[in-house]
Structure 1
Amino acid sequence: MVTDAPILFRVGWLSYVIVASVVLANCDSTAQQLARPTGASPVIQTKDWQMHTDPVYGFAIEYPKEYVILKEVTLPTPTQPAAVQRVRFQRKTIAAGQFADREPPMLTIQVFPRPSGRSLRDWLNSFGLLPPGSEITAVQLPGAREGVKVALRQQLAPNEFLYFATDQYVYGLIPLGPESEKMLASFRLIMTP
């Protein structure tokens, strides 16, 4: 009798493992089905988000209501290309804190003047923004002539940068926060009068 108890225990334990595996497998497939887009093009859910529009530099972006746009004291340092506009988004709780200026923003948009006759890659190379080892991927945005995503995997976050060029400007986007993907998906170039 004593020798049979461990076998029954093992069979009972094995049946629990099998049942749990079947239940988890069904839960996983249900979750995957819910995650699939149901229409031809998935819609980004940005309910209760706010819109920031810059008619001077021709862009618009949505951002969560928990974020705030940081006020600019100075524009970026001269070691970078000279930006004519910079918009930084931060969580309200962090922005209200004592050390808000030391925290990296959740998303940054920088606008640079674009000299005519230069490709986006040439412009980025001239400022050292395409370092060796970076992964460069072409990306598209309606209204932009060129777009690239630069990933610097050896660098700590932020380590992904998106650049879009129009005839007048280069837009540099630096995502960092958890809502960055949705914010990037909402970024649009708008026509300026």
Structure 2
Amino acid sequence: MKAQDVSHIEIYARDKKPVMRRLVSDLRFVRVADSVEVDRSSVLLRRGNAQVVITSGWATRRAGSRHQERIADIAVACDDVDATRNAALAAGATVTLSAQGNPIVSGIGDVTYTLLPAGTRAGFLPDGRNWVPSPPQAAQPEPDGPDHVTLRLDMEIPDNHAAFYRNVLNVASPWTEPAPPQAGTDVLALQSSTGRVSVVLVNGGRTG
């Protein structure tokens, strides 16, 4: 069982507009589609092979986030979804099913992980929403997508989170850190054997 790719990342935000503006202006993401539901509003951004869904609304406030914005879900394409689900259960995680029948792993930190079958790649519209395509934008050079996700973890869970990545998603270390950590932080960088999934876990809870 291996994590082969990250299909998309969903960010919960109190207000999705400033988050969207930062990703568009600073990182050259492109607005692809919008979805409006009773309790949430989402926008889908794309840059290269990377997709980010930014969601705000009552549903995100019910989730009880302490932050203005946070990563809520990472959709991971796995070569064996059933084996990955079983490994997550064995690691003490909770697994539920999405409306589309995809396993959702929770209980390892604040982030959930939606498990998708191998071959699910960036470029498709995430299931479960009524996406309305955005108006076409001026063509721009296609940049490479971001190559890692940075998660800031509370002091009590880094080891648990690292073990989850290694033992469940088979995302193993070592991997060269993308940047030196700031004083007072611990960094663990992990990369999948396919080279397409990499994660940087940052524990910023200590003081220097």
TM-score, scaled to structure 2 = 0.27
Q: Work out which of the two has the higher radius of gyration on C-alpha atoms and give 1 or 2.
A: 1
Structure with the higher helix share, 1 or 2? 1
TM-score, scaled to structure 1 = 0.28
Structure with the higher strand share, 1 or 2? 2
Q: Which protein, 1 or 2, shows the higher relative CO under an 8 Å CA cutoff with sep ≥ 6?
A: 2
